[in-house]
């Protein structure tokens, strides 16, 4: 993943009319920072306190609302769980100089089985 190319493609999308609302934009930037910190691993567990602080969102309901909005717009895949949530960032491909609008790359992947195994490994069994 190329940090600069991804950000350039993201900003080009915003200039070309795929504008996000201000809270969605701030949350996406906070998600991108967390994704970068985790060396672009997909999916990754969300640090909701850090994301809410970085994006200026104070309500859990509002936070989830904007995560779902980013998913509906194709920027992320959001998978809530009972104890924590996962997100998969969709890589952005910069447009060729004559092509116009950058595109979301990759296909939607169902990471749920892998995440369920990881959750089971983290939560002690009640036997």
56 phi-psi bin (left φ>0, alpha ψ -120 to 50, beta other): left
Helix/strand/coil for 125 = coil
Task: Compute CA distances 69 → 7, 76, 101, whole Å.
Answer: 19, 9, 21
Which domains are present in the chain?
Answer: 3-122 (1.10.10.10)
Q: Phi then psi for 93, rounded to 5 degrees?
A: -105, 125
Looking at 73-111, list the stretches that DSSP marks H as alpha helix, in order from N- to C-terminal side: none
Structure tokens belonging to residue 76: 């992320």
| Local confidence pLDDT in tens for the 127 residues of the chain | 688 888 988 988 888 887 799 999 999 999 999 999 999 999 999 999 999 999 999 999 999 999 999 999 999 999 988 778 889 998 887 665 555 555 554 444 444 454 445 545 555 555 5
Per-residue model confidence (pLDDT) at position 67: 95
């Amino acid at each position: 993943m190329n940090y600069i190319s991804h950000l350039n493609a993201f900003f080009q999308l915003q200039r070309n009319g795929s504008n996000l609302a201000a809270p969605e934009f701030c949350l996406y930037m906070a998600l991108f920072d967390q994704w970068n910190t985790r060396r672009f691993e997909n999916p990754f567990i969300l640090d909701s306190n850090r994301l809410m602080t970085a994006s200026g969102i104070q309500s859990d309901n509002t936070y989830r609302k904007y995560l779902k909005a980013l998913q509906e717009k194709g920027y992320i895949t959001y998978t809530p769980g009972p104890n924590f949530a996962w997100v998969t960032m969709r890589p952005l491909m910069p447009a060729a100089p004559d092509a116009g609008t950058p595109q979301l790359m990759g296909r939607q992947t169902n990471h749920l089985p892998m995440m369920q195994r990881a959750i089971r490994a983290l939560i002690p069994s009640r036997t």
